[in-house]
Structure 1
Amino acid sequence: METRTGANGADHPAPASSEVLIELTRVSKEYRSEAGLVRALRDVSVSIARGEFVAIVGTSGSGKSTMMNILGCLDRPTRGTYSLGGLDVGGRTNDGRAIVRNRLIGFIFQGFNLLSRTTALENVELPLQYRGVPAGERRVRATRALEAVNLAERMYHTPNQLSGGQQQRVAIARALVTDPPLLLADEPTGNLDTRTSYEVLALLQRLNRERGITICLVTHEHDIAACASRVIVVRDGRIESDTRQDEPIDAAAALAQLPPPQEASAGGDRAADSDAAHGHVLRGGPVPRSAGFAMAGGLALGALVGLLYDAVVLGAVGATIPVLLGFVGEAWWGARRGAKVLGHPLAADQRARLALVYTLITTAVIAFLAGWLVFPTLPASSFDAWVAPGRLPWGIALALLLFVLALALLRYLLLTFFGSGFFQRYVAGRPRRASAP
């Protein structure tokens, strides 16, 4: 085994490739606390080449998390230099490190860190949204990233509809979608059972071998570190050992040797998948505001087409056709816009919320305009008749409420019609072509 001596006196294996991606040179990190000065890292020097799979191992308080924070540009060293891809990032400002993080690093966390009310596809799109990537390209790249982790059939599920292993795979897809040269995984199997842990490790090994992605995995478990091709052990802020493993454990082979899951568990998983698929149809995240504006535009366009039809074809302007075409236009355009923004048709509760809120807003606008333009022109006797004894003003209010609810129900049914079934492909739209993540 070829080794070299670092600046802190420890022997380190020479990188497998001549192209160095990560270079720490005499890096130290110190904190001030009530107990005094804390030396989290002490003169650490290490090089990691492109395409390596490195596990950083240590107990709590050893300094491994501090090293991960520096590698991930989440913190800067007190002394020493840190180069990533030839860039000196250790001394950059917070904004400068944020740019490096977004462009060069993908993060995988123990707690997944997924947004609970958004789908897997939307979670994966998030880093691209920060970059300002257009919606169509975001959707294409996020879909391909989910396909890479074998989750294409779960892309419209929210995190509470996914198992722990599936959530971690979504997190890996989110880290991959920006095509980073470096993946940092902080205890990625800490919340997973043995079988699921090997599934995640097998996926990371495949990405490392097939795509040449450099992976740095922080863990306190030596059996997890045994799957890496290189193990760096950190103790008391120093590198205690740095060993290259010629034959790391193949996680896929280790997974195949585990006992098969019990039939009851498999049946429960199938039932959970069925419930999750049904839940996707019923539940959704926040409704895009642009869908409401699209409905207003569709209403105006549909009413205009109806007026033109009345005037040109029928020769007399009426209200029936413009109103009907207005309802159709707003539902069609609202469903189409919502599907384009989300990447999938609106869920049932999203359609219900959109229909109800839009109806209440339009009713309030119409009531305001009527109070401003129409009511002042009515004779006083009309108001006296409405509020006269025996005329039941509460009955009028109830009738108006039922009318508003009926309009909301009609809009919900139209949104459902245009957002599913025969119209689903057309409503969702075809995203434009984009490069693979």
Structure 2
Amino acid sequence: MHAEIERVFREEYGRAVAVLVRFFGDIDLAEEAVQDAFGEAVRRWPSAGLPPSPAGWIITTARNRGIDRHRREATREDRHTEAVRLGRLHADQEPPEEGPVRDDRLRLIFTCCHPSLAVPAQVALTLRLLGGLTTTEIAHAFLVPEPTMAQRLFRAKGKIRKAGIPYRVPHEADLPTRLRAVLTVVYLIFNEGYSASSGDRLVREDLCAEAVRLGRLLAELMPDEPEALGLLALMLLTESRRPARTTTGGDLVLLADQDRGRWDRALIDEGQDLVRRCLRRDRPGPYQLQAAINAVHSDATTAADTDWAQIVQLYDQLLELSPGPVVALNRAIAVAERSGPAAALSLVDELDLGAYYLFHAVRADLLRRLGRRAEAAEAYDRAISLAENAAELRLLTQRRASLT
């Protein structure tokens, strides 16, 4: 039963928070109420069994707990006002839809991405509230220590309270200014789903599906924003490879070794069509360039057919628009295929990514290809010490063992 409760939490936490924020107009109250409801589920469900609609049970229980909590904490002066407001909400059950964003989760993402908060704080807070990601997973996405991320989340919520930032659906004219942070949120949700930072499973299908759903909504809401189309294309092209990415036993299969006949051609066709639409607009952005890189991969019928020269050129453009060590690391991987491991290793060794396990995994692979086995073993050991996902650990351990 605890596994079932955990599954419901992963799948429904974000939606429940979104519904309750719209109900109460208070992010903190909504989050605390949903947490109370899941605590009650842990106590009740093992003996009473799973309710017919677990999501409905959680939302109803959270709404009642939130009302009780608010009544207890309200001052005498505002109790009457709040009683009238909550009575109206009880009668209506749910407030009417407002504004251009109709989906509860997407609405709350736009709301949390408030311009008074720094973009990293906007993204981190939204991932915590809606993405179903733990503080550890968010810290992994930002490549920062967990205590640093916990403090960042604490400060962001404190600023919302101190500044009195209300829950308010942004007007249509406000959406473009918040789009960058919203796209980042959806992208990081997808990344955590496609390559889970920890746990036994490599992929969290629930997060992948939710990110793609949000991406489709964004593309419909803002069809003239090429980066929204680019992000959707990137996720679809990446998702198309998921059936071939693991063995039946859950082991990771690298891109070069995948059975490309198992790739989802419908997703590839849709993603490539979006890439072509972006190219015609000629307003390149980071997500469009990443989508174009994945489109080149999807064009190759075998790994040997991959146009690595074109991929390197696309990474060159991406580094100009969005410079960063992770982009540079990915570019070095492409350089290794175009120009050989020695050229790539010189690029990798210039990067400051010592806390990132993939940095050491890439170095290890390049050193192995150069025949520098002792150094490769050390790099694999470092990668193994930093990796937390079971499937990635198994692959790294196998690669390390192959050296001996």
Q: Shorter-normalised TM-score: what interval?
A: under 0.3
- Larger proportion of helix: 2
TM-score, scaled to structure 2: 0.25
TM-score, scaled to structure 1: 0.24
- Larger proportion of strand: 1
Bigger relative contact order (CA 8 A; separation at least 6): 1
- Structure with greater Cα Rg: 1
